[in-house]
């Protein structure tokens, strides 16, 4: 079980741990580093002046805040997106990815920022599977299913069609090749791919 979790408290986001450990989160930041060819998206604790821990005058507030900050970093709540800032197209793609991560988080999906919603197709007998890629949001992953179904049917032969349609799509939030909470299974036959 995770040491901390992110929760909504009275319309404000907080990082919550055991006992009296509740600290407000600052707005999610998007910072560009053109010299390093990256944009960083990160969740941070609030400024000390707005600190819940300091307001309660806890003796170990500094240590708790340091541990919380470290947890946010180690748990994937900081993500760097690479982009070639000399190219408008590459920069636009990096900015769009950063905004999608921010919007995903602010929309109530507190999956770590470095996690992706990965999609796999699996045969009915679970003897074969195909990695269909990763997406920033669950909506993007779901929206990709009709195109993936059509592509699977296109590359297969007529004899494969029934087997493909009898298969299943699995969507899972994945971080460092490990599931991190969300999983959803959909029958391929239920996907409208026309």
Q: Where are the domains of the chain?
A: 5-106, 116-190
**H helices of 83-174, where?**
88-106, 138-155, 161-165
Contact 75, 68 (CB under 8 A): no
Instruction: Please report which helix (H) or strand (E) contains residue 61, including its range.
Output: helix 61-74
Largest CA distance in the chain: 70
Beta carbons of 167 and 153 less than 8 angstroms apart: no
Would you write out the chain's pLDDT as a tens digit for each of its 194 residues?
468 999 998 889 999 997 768 999 998 999 999 999 999 999 999 999 999 999 988 889 999 999 999 999 999 999 999 999 999 999 999 999 999 999 999 999 999 999 999 999 998 887 788 999 999 999 999 999 999 999 999 888 778 889 899 999 999 999 987 877 788 999 998 888 66
């Amino acid at each position: 079980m995770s040491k901390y979790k992110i929760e909504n408290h009275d319309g404000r986001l907080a990082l919550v741990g055991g006992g009296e450990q509740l600290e407000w989160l600052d707005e999610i930041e998007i910072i560009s580093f053109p010299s390093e060819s990256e944009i960083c998206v990160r969740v941070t604790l609030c400024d000390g002046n707005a600190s819940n821990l300091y307001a309660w005058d806890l003796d170990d507030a500094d240590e708790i805040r340091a541990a919380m900050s470290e947890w946010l970093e180690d748990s994937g709540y900081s993500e760097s997106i690479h982009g070639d800032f000399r190219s408008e197209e590459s920069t636009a793609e990096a900015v769009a990815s950063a905004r999608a991560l921010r919007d995903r988080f602010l929309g109530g999906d507190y999956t770590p920022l470095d996690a992706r919603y990965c999609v796999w197709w699996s045969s009915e007998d679970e003897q074969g599977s195909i990695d269909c890629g990763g997406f920033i949001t669950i909506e993007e992953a779901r929206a990709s299913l009709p195109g993936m179904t059509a592509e699977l049917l296109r590359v297969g032969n007529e004899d494969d069609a029934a087997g493909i349609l009898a298969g299943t799509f699995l969507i899972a939030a994945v971080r460092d090749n490990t599931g991190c909470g969300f999983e959803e299974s959909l029958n391929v036959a239920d996907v409208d791919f026309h």
